[in-house]
Amino acid sequence: MTTPIERIIIRHLSGSKANQIEQLPVGDSREFTIGRDPTSKIAFDPVGDSVVSRKHALIRIMGEGDNISFKLSDAGSSNGTFLNGERVNGEVELLPEDTIELGAKGPKFAFDVQPRPASFAARTKVIGVADTAATRVIKTAEAAASTAVNAAATGASTAAGASADGGPPKKVGIGHETVQRLIGEERGKANRNMTGAIAAVVAFFVLGGAALYWAQHRELERRDAEDKLAQTETDERLSRIPGDVNLKIGMKPREIYDKYAKATVQVGMMWRLYDKQTGRPIQHKTIDYKGRRYPAYVQLPNNLGVVRWLTLEDDHITNLMVGGGGTGSGFVISEQGYILTNKHVAAGWQVAYGAEGGREGILYDYVVVSSGKKRKAKIKEPKLIDLYDSAYADVFHWIPESGGYIFKTDDPTTALTGNTPDPNSNNKASFVGRNEVLEVKFHGSRLGV
């Protein structure tokens, strides 16, 4: 059974994290984000690694067990993503010991996993031409030796033939010694050729390795110099920020606190809305609709708009008080004790009422039917509305102090005398707000006034 991969190993080769090693637990994670975003799984310095995008690249885990694989893709970065020196287009396979570069000449790191499954091997290394050259040298030496043996044998046969024909006799030992000498000479030549070839290959790799090392060393020095220069510029900019801020605001935060803290106050308030004609508090009618209570609204005829069903009665203690409460801050601006604060803190009835009482409500619509001099209202089926809908923007932004219609508590088509929603007169009631509670606490004091 294959041992599951426990963590991803990231070995940084260059950039602000050069020579650092990160170990990322895999667990149930299937994606590992790369970028300057602080939430990235593999995060880079927002200042030192400026060529890296906030969301630069993505590593995804595919499959399980023996079929597990890793995929690398660019996340729409500005400078691109490179795998082993090749730009990544789409999603590519990621193997152990692969190098990932974020942008041309950007931060580079090597990828690996632990424990590494047997089926999850690194890429096959490309072999050079050294072995082929050595093979050709060996074959040439063998051919030369064979040629020497054949020549010696031919010479011996010729000598034997001459003796048989009556020519001068040849010593048998001379042919054998000649063959041995020729074989030794050819072997020496082959050995010298092989030694020369091996020396040439070794020299090639030594010189090539030295050149590559020197080039990489110079590139690292150049990048280090650029990083140090960028860091120096960043440090200089950061060191100037406090001075620039102090120059613009004139004072340091601590100086502002020491000078103005005692002039800061906390304001607590609670206000209500009243009918100016009767002096009675305004109530917002609520309706039981499908087992739940909602604030009620009325659709006026002749496109006069939607208004709150306001009333002066609350016999069943179910209506909503039109008012508000809360806390805010203020500042003492004079020795006489004048306090500067926001309008919604000091006079909440002069700002938009919003969705107080709930975002949803029940809308009553009706039409007026005329018969001679008589007019009769016919109520339509009520419906549920959402005050955040743009169709009800006027209701949402209603300012209590601007006034409105006061209806009977049991009939949305009949308003109180003098407040009838008549399209000809558009007669509205006048409202006034009043603070029921207005408490001020000074800095360092637990008691309010």
CATH 3.30.413.10 assigned to domain 7-114? The reply is: no
Q: In the chain, what are the domain boundaries?
A: 7-114, 130-247, 262-442
DSSP secondary structure letters along 10-30: EEE-SSTTTT-EEEEE-TT--
Confidence at residue 133, expressed as pLDDT on a 0 to 100 scale: 45
- Write out pLDDT tens, residues 339-362: 888 888 888 889 999 888 788 999
Query: Facing residues of 326 across strands?
Result: 269
Task: Assess whether pLDDT exceeds 90 at residue 60.
Answer: yes
Q: How many CB atoms lie within 10 A of CB 122?
A: 11
Q: pLDDT confidence of 209, banded at 50, 70, 90?
A: confident
Query: What is the rounded CA–CA span in Å between residue 146 and residue 139?
Result: 11
- Report percent pLDDT > 90 for the chain: 29
Helix, strand or coil, per DSSP, at residue 4:
coil
Name the residue with tokens 């020497």: 148
Polymer length in residues for the chain: 449
CA atoms within 13 A on the CB side of 341: 24
Confidence at residue 158, expressed as pLDDT on a 0 to 100 scale: 44
> Smallest Cα–Cα separation from 387: which of 364, 362, 351?
362
Confidence at residue 156, expressed as pLDDT on a 0 to 100 scale: 42
- Write out pLDDT tens, residues 64-95: 877 889 999 999 999 999 999 999 999 999 99
Task: Assess whether pLDDT exceeds 70 at residue 387.
Answer: yes
Task: Assess whether pLDDT exceeds 50 at residue 142.
Answer: no
Helices (H), 110-269: 130-164, 172-249, 253-260
Query: What is the rounded CA–CA span in Å between residue 286 and residue 357?
Result: 9
Helices (H), 308-367: 343-346
Task: Assess whether pLDDT exceeds 90 at residue 177.
Answer: no
Identify the DSSP state of 448. B
Q: pLDDT confidence of 97, banded at 50, 70, 90?
A: very high
Query: What is the rounded CA–CA span in Å between residue 28 and residue 343?
Result: 52
What counts of helices (H) and strands (E) characterise the chain? 5, 26
- Write out pLDDT tens, residues 149-172: 444 444 444 444 444 444 444 444
Task: Assess whether pLDDT exceeds 90 at residue 305.
Answer: no
How high is the mean pLDDT of the chain?
80
Confidence at residue 416, expressed as pLDDT on a 0 to 100 scale: 53
Lowest mean pLDDT among 160-174, 391-405, 427-441: 160-174
Packed helices 172-249 and 130-164: angle between N→C axes, nearest 10 degrees: 170
Confidence at residue 151, expressed as pLDDT on a 0 to 100 scale: 47
Mean pLDDT of all residues in 123-141: 51
Q: pLDDT confidence of 135, banded at 50, 70, 90?
A: very low
Lowest mean pLDDT among 222-236, 238-252, 291-305: 238-252
- Report CA-CA distances (Å) from 417 to 50, 300, 319, 411, 427: 72, 17, 21, 14, 10
Query: What is the rounded CA–CA span in Å between residue 363 and residue 294?
Result: 10
Confidence at residue 157, expressed as pLDDT on a 0 to 100 scale: 43
